[in-house]
Amino acid sequence: MAFKFTEEHLNTLDKSFIVNLFLQLQDQNDKLSGEIQELNKKMEVLIEQITLANKNRFGRSSEKMTDTSQICFMEVDGTIVFFNEAEAVSDLDAEEPDTLENKPARTAKVVGKKDADIKDLPVNIINHYLTDEELVAEFGENGWKQLPDAISKRYRFIPAKVEIDEHHVGVYASKTDDRIIKADHPKALLHGSLVSPTIAAAIMNGKYVNAVPLYRLEQEFSRYGLTITRQNMANWMIRLGESYLAVLYDYLHQKLYNYHVIQADETPVLVNRDGRSAGSKSYMWVYRSGHLYTDKQIVLYDYHKTRNSSHPREFLRDYSGICVTDGYQVYHTIEKEREDLQIAGCWVHARRKFDEALTVIPKAHQNKSNAFLVIKQIQAIYREEGKLNKLSSEERLMQRQLVIKPLVDALFAYLKKMEPTVPASGQLRKAYTYILNQEKYLRVFLEDGEVPIDNNASERAIRGFCIGKKNWQMIDTINGAHSSAIIYSIAETAKANNLKPYVLYISWRRFQNIWNKKIEPFLRTCYHGLKNFQKGFENNSNQEPPITAVLNFFNVLAIERLQAL
């Protein structure tokens, strides 16, 4: 037990001892006060992390604000001036309304909507008429007349069914020699396999569009009397993706380079057998055309085991233009290496940081907080940007410079003014650090009318994969991951262009015939030509042939041939 001085003991001590004792206690108190402050800071950070974790787990995923006031600020002669947008545009001389309650607007009922919704569906007419005997018994002889039919319509759902297409191919032999020919017939998608375009399209539509795992498809098929194991389905997807859709994927990859603005994002995925320890993260990257190009959209997935800069560097090797991304550093690293690539930032990511900072503040103090004012200013920027959706890129750029740029300038002026007052740790500091470091990239959309304000389109494009990932948890092999990237690319590209993925998949029958009759012979000719080139190179040189250049040439020829078709 520590010794405690009493008043009697202190009265007996000399002055120098008491002075030394006081100085020691003072130093000890300063030390403890510093430790308490550090612990309080750590506790605040932990409380913020717990609050955010609870919100992410139990709260709404929406970042929409409940406060509807339209507050923003402008920079006037170096001074930040706040104002309420509603008050700024109001007519102060207007008369007060009789009632402050807004009456809900009554929308007129649309006539013929039900018929319009079903006009493209096939109609099966079912007649319900009385017999002549029944009519005579009811009305007497010639006591009735026929009126217009009473028509009622109901949906009829026809469950899927599975049939076997048995192809009988005529085989003919010459009587004079050994020549044998067969009648023209469609080749099997996979040699020796029962898979057809329709069943393959159904599997792809189920897994890659509707996010149904293969084991559930296996159970569903068994209810139709069809026995297909998930292993067979997985093998079909890998082989079909590599044999057929990979050519289309490469073609879309080349077409993506023609866009002045593209967007990129990535998401983690688990691959079971990738040669690493269990639980190692792999990544699915997504690249898409800028969403302001509404006529022709392209969405491409790209699987890799890591998240380093070599992957986007390779994918964007032949691209020149603007790429919209989040704040991931690898894109900025690639931009510094090249003069023909510019990176644009995402305002949604910037706003999200301040939304997280606002979440950890008690509700009673949120409206007076720094984070609240920043979010309101970003909200004002988005409100003005939303008015420009239907404008051309030139008109959009003009309006951005005239209306939105002053709001952005005022926001960064305010951030730089308030930055010294922000605590050194916590969510608000993270938000300030992020947005100030990203200022260069967040301003790019002000310089080009084709650049979107955020990267939401990429997040929407990868959402289908993320939903599926929650259901099937992981991909088994690397080959499966690559084929998934190809098939997801075709599905998301179809959806982005308002096409039906199932119809696109099933069109393999036509593509298969083109492949067998035109593309495959062409590629075979190219292959033999390259083999002869290699032999000639080896005979005339001791060096190894430039295989990379040869394969690239081979791929370009294939792409050009496909495009010509």
As a whole number of angstroms, the distance between CA 392 and CA 448 comes to 11
Indicate whether 343 pLDDT > 90.
yes
Residue 86: which pLDDT band, with cuts at 50, 70 and 90?
Answer: very low
| Pairing label, strands 261-273, 321-324 | parallel
Q: Which one has a higher pLDDT value, 542 or 298?
A: 298
Q: Which one has a higher pLDDT value, 372 or 187?
A: 372
As a whole number of angstroms, the distance between CA 470 and CA 478 comes to 19
pLDDT tens, position by position, 143-199 = 888 999 999 888 888 888 888 889 999 999 998 888 999 998 888 888 888 988 888
As a whole number of angstroms, the distance between CA 65 and CA 372 comes to 10
Indicate whether 101 pLDDT > 70.
no
Mean pLDDT of the chain: 81
Average pLDDT, stretch 312-335?
A: 92
Residue 115: which pLDDT band, with cuts at 50, 70 and 90?
Answer: confident
The pLDDT score that the predictor gives to residue 435 is 93
The pLDDT score that the predictor gives to residue 90 is 38
As a whole number of angstroms, the distance between CA 383 and CA 70 comes to 10
Residue 537: which pLDDT band, with cuts at 50, 70 and 90?
Answer: very low
Angstrom CA distances, 69 to 65, 86, 92, 182, 379, stand at 10, 8, 18, 76, 10
Beta bridge partners of 181: 172
The closest of 466, 471, 492, 476 to 301, measured between CA atoms, is 492
Residue type, 368: K
Indicate whether 244 pLDDT > 80.
yes
| Pairing label, strands 79-84, 71-76 | antiparallel
Indicate whether 422 pLDDT > 70.
yes
Indicate whether 118 pLDDT > 80.
yes
Structure tokens at 137: 């018994």
398 dihedral zone (left: phi>0; alpha: psi -120 to 50; beta): alpha
As a whole number of angstroms, the distance between CA 357 and CA 48 comes to 8
As a whole number of angstroms, the distance between CA 272 and CA 281 comes to 10
As a whole number of angstroms, the distance between CA 9 and CA 285 comes to 75
**Considering the chain, what percentage of its residues have pLDDT values greater than 70?**
79
pLDDT tens, position by position, 385-421 = 999 988 999 999 999 999 999 999 999 999 999 999 9
